[in-house]
Amino acid sequence: MCPRIGAGTAEYEWMTWQEIAEEARRDTPVVISVGATEQHGPHLPVSADWAIPQALLRLAAAERHFVVGPALRLGYRSRPGSGGGQHFPGTLSLRATTLMAVLEDVLNELVRARFTRIVVYNWHFENAGFVYEPAFLVSERHPQVKIVVVEQGLPQFSEEDLAELFPDGFPGLELEHASLIETSLFAYLRPGAIREDRICDDAPLRHPPYDVVPIDTTMSTASGVLASATKASAEKGKLLAERISEHILDIIETEFPASTAAGGDSATGATTAG
């Protein structure tokens, strides 16, 4: 028996083909997270950039029914100023053309399965710029299919939230790699995956608004953490998870109102994988 994943939710990888076909017939939205397998410091697993968004999508899908699609677990190459850099062992990256081709194929397959309402939800910073092109190409071939491209997975946080999360000041999203946000989300969503004794703070020697190749390691850190991780907490992770899942739900409800679905996709009318 497939494991149940929560009331009113459906996760593609745990569904049968009949259940997937039924969700497509009902015109249920499907959300594909695009992540990476990338070093996340000494304390977080390399799965962070796909495990986190998948967990957040499950939270959101428990509130408003949609299909949580299979995550793309490999992304574009890590950069020193935002991901620590391609020189770290453990990171498995794709070239841009490969990533775009894979995502285009996945979107085409969803269309073949008769999904017409699709969200591409990107988490890995370096993927931005490469997820729109395949969505555009698929849309050109299938104009009846609406694809929403979310390149930045995080919402704009309020001043109050930023003050609570970063009482010493917000370093900026690029430096939040393996730092407070992702460590707090793991502390709330998957605390057992954190190597608690290895959490650290770090900072690159320099952080210019440009990149340099060959890789300049002064733009990264020895640990792979780009800012503070020691101030992370499960409480902050709960706040972040709530705000991000609300962000996801706002996007879906704005672009795919539940009342417009052919078969209804509200939580009360949902099918559940299991």
Per-domain residue ranges for the chain?
30-257
Instruction: Domain 30-257: give its CATH superfamily.
Output: Creatininase (3.40.50.10310)
CA-based Rg of the chain, rounded to a whole angstrom? 19
pLDDT confidence of 271, banded at 50, 70, 90?
Answer: very low
Instruction: List C-alpha distances in Å: 136 to 141, 147, 176, 196.
Output: 9, 8, 29, 42
Q: Among the options 43, 177, 207, 247, which is catalytic?
A: 177
Percent of the chain with pLDDT over 70: 92
Active site residue 49: yes
Q: What is the pLDDT of residues 96-118, one digit of tens each?
A: 999 999 999 999 999 999 999 99
The pLDDT of residue 265 = 55
Q: Among the options 11, 23, 43, 124, which is catalytic?
A: 124
Cα–Cα distance measured from residue 202 to residue 208, given in angstroms and rounded to the nearest whole number: 16
**pLDDT, averaged across the chain:** 92
Cα–Cα distance measured from residue 51 to residue 45, given in angstroms and rounded to the nearest whole number: 9
pLDDT confidence of 259, banded at 50, 70, 90?
Answer: confident
The pLDDT of residue 188 = 98
pTM of the model: 0.91
Q: Among the options 11, 19, 23, 49, which is catalytic?
A: 49
Q: Among the options 19, 38, 202, 265, which is catalytic?
A: 38
Q: What is the pLDDT of residues 144-196, one digit of tens each?
A: 999 999 999 999 999 999 999 999 999 999 999 999 999 999 999 999 999 99
The pLDDT of residue 273 = 41
Q: Among the options 40, 43, 65, 247, which is catalytic?
A: 40
The pLDDT of residue 260 = 64
Q: Among the options 11, 19, 126, 202, which is catalytic?
A: 126
Active site residue 87: no
Active site residue 196: no
Q: What is the pLDDT of residues 3-26, one digit of tens each?
A: 333 445 799 999 999 999 999 999
Three-state SS letters, 157-181: CCHHHHHHHCCCCCCCHHHHCCCHH
Q: For residue 132, is pLDDT > 90?
A: yes
Active site residue 126: yes
Q: Report cis status (omega within 30 of 0) of the bond before 214.
A: yes
Active site residue 38: yes
Residues with Cβ within 8 Å of residue 194, at least 6 apart in sequence? 43, 44, 183, 186, 187
